[in-house]
């Protein structure tokens, strides 16, 4: 499932073709994805100007002139693709319609935004912009790791007394927004923290060190356009490239990248997810 860098990459790719632009026609080609679409979704989108695009955790929000916001979750295989952009950001002409093009937005600048999702684990909803933060999918999400509310004292306090492994704590969206399996593995490696260590037993100084490391990992991934492992594509249809920079994720059996270390990367399963780490460098 796309994590924060992939969602941020898609949002930034959509913005030039959508921000300040009218949706002249919206096509909704099925009644649902993971959940049913809101009532009259095509009608409520058609004719609205997209005032701004923003991201909250792993969700994209398009604020509309109607006072509603279109909430988008990519799920496992969802893609938001731009074609025919007159601003010259994309080189793709409008492709022929495909079987899994579930929602299509025709913009008045000639761009077409297509939500394609073969597995249909994605989701869309329309919600009141003013009260969007109270929506059931957003209300319990923690601070954004690239924002000012995520800082050393906040993370130290969030970890205090927790007996869960630090890997699980960082995946808890109530503690910090948008982190997923890939970037937690990479951040813990850079911090030298074993993923199975109990969050509440890690020293305050080591917990504090995670904050800039998490930001650095996410920033580098966004700069590389995210990580393309299976289904992820950017809004222009191209792959992300951060997977070529992984230190531990997916590298089971390979030698640790720390120059003086001779250990191989190991894999364990935590809460049903693969965790990759170096037993020598992470304690």
The residues annotated with a catalytic role in the active site are 2-3, 58, 273
Q: What is the dihedral of CA 175, 232, 27, 109, to 10 degrees?
A: 100
C-alpha 248/C-alpha 218 separation (Å) is 15
Beta-carbon contacts of residue 95 (< 8 Å; ≥ 6 apart)? 83
3-state secondary structure of 184: helix
C-alpha 80/C-alpha 74 separation (Å) is 8
CB atoms within 10 A of CB 131: 10
C-alpha 117/C-alpha 111 separation (Å) is 19
3-state secondary structure of 156: helix
Nearest alpha-carbon partner for 188 in 200, 164, 206, 163: 206
Beta-carbon contacts of residue 139 (< 8 Å; ≥ 6 apart)? 133
Nearest alpha-carbon partner for 215 in 127, 148, 131, 139: 148
Any bridge partners for residue 25, and if so which?
Answer: 106
Contact 54, 61 (CB under 8 A): yes
Contact 215, 205 (CB under 8 A): no
C-alpha 6/C-alpha 22 separation (Å) is 25
3-state secondary structure of 22: strand
């Amino acid at each position: 499932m796309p994590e924060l860098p992939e969602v941020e990459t898609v949002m930034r790719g959509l913005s030039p073709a959508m921000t300040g632009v009218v949706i002249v026609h919206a096509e909704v080609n099925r009644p649902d994805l993971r959940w049913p679409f809101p009532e009259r979704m095509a009608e409520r989108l058609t004719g609205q100007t997209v005032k701004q695009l923003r991201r909250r955790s792993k969700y994209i929000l398009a604020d509309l002139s109607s006072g509603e916001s279109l909430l988008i979750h990519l799920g496992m295989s969802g893609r938001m693709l731009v074609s025919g952009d007159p601003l010259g950001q994309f080189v793709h002409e409008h492709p022929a319609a495909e079987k899994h093009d579930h929602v299509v937005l025709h913009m008045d600048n000639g761009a077409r935004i297509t939500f394609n999702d073969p597995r249909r684990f994605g989701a869309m909803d329309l919600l009141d912009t003013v009260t969007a933060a109270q929506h059931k999918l957003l209300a319990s999400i923690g601070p954004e790791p690239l924002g000012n509310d995520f800082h050393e004292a906040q993370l130290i306090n969030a970890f205090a007394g927790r007996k869960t492994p630090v890997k699980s704590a960082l995946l808890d969206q109530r503690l910090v927004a948008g982190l997923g399996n890939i970037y937690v593995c990479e951040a813990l490696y850079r911090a030298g923290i074993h993923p199975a260590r109990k969050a509440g037993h890690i020293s305050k100084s080591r917990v504090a060190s995670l904050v800039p490391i998490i930001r650095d990992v996410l920033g580098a991934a966004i700069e590389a356009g995210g990580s393309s492992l299976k289904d992820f594509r950017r809004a222009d249809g191209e792959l992300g490239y951060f997977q070529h920079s992984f230190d531990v994720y997916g590298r089971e059996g390979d030698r640790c990248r720390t120059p003086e270390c001779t250990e191989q990367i190991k894999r364990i399963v935590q809460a049903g997810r693969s965790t990759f780490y170096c037993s020598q460098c992470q304690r």
